[in-house]
Amino acid sequence: MTITLPTKKKAPNRLTFLFVLLILLGSCDSLEDKKGRFLLKGNEKLEENDPKSAIGFYKEAIALDSTYSDAYFNKALAHLRLNQLDEAIHDFSSSIAYQSDNFEAFFQRGLTYLDNGEFYKAREDANRLISLNDKDWRSYFLEGLTQEKLKNFPTSLEAFQKATQLNPENSDLWVNQATIFYYQKDYSEAKKKLNQAEQINPSESNLHNLRSMILFDEKSYEQALESVEKAITLDNRQAYFYNNKGLYLLFLDRKEEGLDWINQSIQMDPKNPFALRNKGIYYVMKGDKISALQYLSDLEKSYPEMDMVQEYFQKAQAL
């Protein structure tokens, strides 16, 4: 009699087993885990300076949870990297809609409103920040910036002073105070504030630029040039530094060199009215009436209160 041995069962494929296990594990992920992973991936891309890819991951997170405040906030930051201000404001607003006490979202939206020229909306956010936390310097910092844009200089100065009291080691806040004193033509107080800022951070480029502007108004052109060159050495990305250097060179009778710096500033920021004014001043100095009026006529209508516009518009007409 033939003995029949039991048939051996085929061993399961290990790869198949692992694949099934991974599916089961994945299906156990909570919504929080899934959306959190997309948020982290977006953050990694943002750190890698790839905001477009970051936005894609944040959208995935929001698709899983349309009320995900953190994803909206980070997506807004990515839009800011791309200079997409309207999109950033929209996402900051969504973040706030789902987290009404989101201090950071109000602060960043307020700053973005300022950059977008929406000063009254920025003021509303500043007021909201103060109501949320009147012990945080940023509440008054945003208020100061907003009131400055609205040309309410005493209110702006008061806000910057409150911010400085809360954060006295922040050199920017001292420079902000100096800026308001400069607007008010109180150069003595402006210099004191700049000296205070320099004690805290001598590498703050804006303090050297503002000092150069004060020196220019005092007709100390060589010293003004030295100060703005120091600002450019510390930060060579600011178009208005280049523009100021060009202006000082014009008044040092280095006109062609000055024009080169002014043109470089315009290439960096074509809409800067101060650079266009300075180019008009150059043509007045050269005796070119037609070119001078080409720049100064529009400025005289759009920015009649800008320093030197009326003076050089009249000089251009008299050529």
- The CA distance from 286 to 307, in Å, is 20
Q: Look up residue 107 and give its two tokens.
A: 């602060």
Span 32-100: which CATH code? 1.25.40.10
Distances (CA, A) of 201 to 205, 271, 274: 9, 31, 28
pLDDT digits (tens, 9 = 90+) for 104-142: 999 999 999 999 999 999 999 999 999 999 999 999 999
Residue 201, SS3? coil
- The CA distance from 1 to 47, in Å, is 77
Top-confidence residue, 162 or 12: 162
Top-confidence residue, 304 or 252: 252
pLDDT reading at 103 higher than 50: yes
Chain centroid to Cα 220, Å, comes to 31
Query: Stretch 151-179: mean pLDDT, rounded?
Result: 97
- Residue 172: CB atoms within 10 A of its CB come to 18
Give residue 14's pLDDT.
46
Categorize the per-residue pLDDT at 195 as very low, low, confident or very high, splitting at 50, 70 and 90. very high
- Residue 256: CB atoms within 10 A of its CB come to 10
User: Residue 167 has what DSSP assignment?
Assistant: -
Query: Stretch 8-20: mean pLDDT, rounded?
Result: 45
Pair 309, 277: CB distance under 8 Å: yes
Give residue 227's pLDDT.
98
Query: Stretch 54-67: mean pLDDT, rounded?
Result: 94
First to last CA, the chain: 128
- The CA distance from 160 to 185, in Å, is 17
Residue 170, SS3? coil
Say which amino acid occupies 87: E
- Residue 301: CB atoms within 10 A of its CB come to 10
| pTM of the model as a whole | 0.83
Pair 290, 278: CB distance under 8 Å: no
Pair 157, 138: CB distance under 8 Å: no
